[in-house]
Structure 1
Amino acid sequence: MIKWIAALLGYYLFRFPGAIVGFFLGSFIDNMKDSGGQPRSVLRDITRQSVSPADFELNLLSLCSLVIKADGNVSKTEMDYVRQYFISTYGKDKANAIFRTFNDINKKREISASRICNYLNQRTRYAVRLQLLHFLFGIAQADGTVSKAEISKIQEIAGYLKVSLRDFESIKAMFVKEADTAYKILEIDKTATDNEVKKAYRTMVKKYHPDRVNTQDEAIKKGAEEKFKEVQKAYETIQSERGL
């Protein structure tokens, strides 16, 4: 209906060329409306290309719960870590509202890591997903140790998030200390030359700089800053060892 009205209006104003333009514009408007006068699903699909803060927080909390339950021992320390982190990041009222909503959802359906990660993959940048893993490792470490079961669960989540194994090992090295931890953080071997070390550091600085994390979520922003500091510490450690 709208396309014909637009065509007539176009013809009245600009004759035949105006009628053509009016017809196509009217057709576009008609297609954007369904029978109830609401935008069609294609418009809703466009709005879903970015994840809203509320959705992100609930999905983040769901992944947190999977890590906490990973070793079969629900640690109060880890739970308190998550709660305090959410309160300090979002404020007490908002954090409590997030937890209430999460509890309601959790009662109705089982948490699926693959489903959540698939949702996030479509709506977040790779840099954000890297910081998400950093946050999950922080939870696992809250009770003093990162168990094998927790590492396994976070690696499973990393796989669903399409994070490379090398990036996963780099983040893991920030929490599970080994002899070559600094090198793993920079994603290089201990046999790397001095020039390769410097090049790796420059690459990691670009890769993990907090400015690359384009998100409204404060928890992820803080994680980005922490990870950036770990990259700098790793480079300083190697510098000290080699006298660079």
Structure 2
Amino acid sequence: MIKWFAAILGYIYFRFPGAILGFIIGSLLDNYIRSAGGLFENMGGTQKSRVSPGDFELNLLSLASLVIKADGQVSQTELDYVRAYFVRAYGKERANATFRTFNEVIKNREISAQRICAYLHSRTRYEVRLQILHFLFSIAQADGNISQAELNQLSQIAGYLRLNSHDFESIKAMFLKSADNAYKILEIDKSASDAEVKKAYRKMAKKYHPDKLGHMDEAYRKGAEEKFRKVQDAYEQIQKERRM
């Protein structure tokens, strides 16, 4: 820590009074650096590399197009969902500008999920990438059915975004129903004890709390709220089944 280095340096030159002064100045510098680091983290990246709003929107739209085309059919319902989402998140004028730029870009460039995800991985926080995956699942489900081809594409994107398999299965369970759906959302097995269920709920509630995306656009915050509700619903379902 800077404060200890400054205290030692102060002692060397000015003895005890210098050590005290150095410690105080070093503490102020430590606090400033931590505050600055938190600011850059809240912006979704780091001081060295941040994704600009325009680049983020274009890359998000590119991933959305990969999911829409995954099963070889371009669903108008899915297209409408994406457009409505972008309008809610960024406003009609900005959304239209993003779509125009996207259409111009893809004419001369093949979309690479691996390249886009590597770019986003280096510039966004983990919880933002979780929300990206949730958004892409929402697109696939917009027409009422998530095909195997779409699921394969989503799995590949999750891997490229460096999301762990437990988080992928948790978000997948929010969209694809199964007998142990609630347990998958909480990332536990049906054999888990009541204490383990409670612990898992607290962990997932913290991970998906909407405050994690407080710096993002409204549409993203609503997506976070939806994930949070599904975690709560899963926990309540298990409570009823077990009469906890």
Regarding TM over 0.5, the answer is yes
Task: Report the equivalent of 1:237.
Answer: 237
| Consecutive unaligned residues in structure 1, runs of 5 or more | 1-45
**1:145-156 mapped onto 2 (5 Å cutoff):** 145-156=145-156
- 3-state SS of paired residue (2:107): helix
Determine which structure has more spread, i.e. the larger CA radius of gyration: 1
Distance 1:129 1:79 in 2: 21
**1:75-224 mapped onto 2 (5 Å cutoff):** 75-213=75-213, 215-224=215-224
Q: Aligned-pair distance for 1:206? A: 1.1
Q: Aligned-pair distance for 1:106? A: 0.7
Q: TM-score, normalised by structure 2?
A: 0.79
Distance 2:99 2:215 in 1: 21
- 3-state SS of paired residue (1:166): helix
| Consecutive unaligned residues in structure 2, runs of 5 or more | 1-45
Task: Report the equivalent of 1:30.
Answer: none
Change (3 A) 1:115 1:108: same
RMSD value, Cα: 1.3
Q: TM-score, normalised by structure 1?
A: 0.79
Question: How many residues are aligned here?
Answer: 199
Distance 1:190 1:216 in 2: 35
Task: Report the equivalent of 2:64.
Answer: 64
Tell me which stretches of 4 or more aligned residues in structure 1 moved more than 2 Å. Answer: 213-222
For the Cα contact (< 8 Å) 1:201–1:235, is it kept in 2?
A: yes
Distance 2:48 2:78 in 1: 32
Q: Aligned-pair distance for 1:216? A: 2.9
Q: Aligned-pair distance for 1:215? A: 4.2
Change (3 A) 1:48 1:222: farther
For the Cα contact (< 8 Å) 1:128–1:215, is it kept in 2?
A: no
Distance 2:133 2:115 in 1: 16
Question: Aligned AA for 2:142?
Answer: A
Task: Report the equivalent of 2:3.
Answer: none
Please list the CA deviations of residues 103-145 of structure 1 after superposition, one character each: whole Å capped at 9, or x if unmatched: 0111110111011001001110011101110000000000001
- 3-state SS of paired residue (1:108): coil
Give percent identity, aligned residues only.
68
For the Cα contact (< 8 Å) 1:128–1:214, is it kept in 2?
A: no
For the Cα contact (< 8 Å) 1:131–1:223, is it kept in 2?
A: yes
Distance 1:88 1:55 in 2: 18
Question: Aligned AA for 1:212?
Answer: K
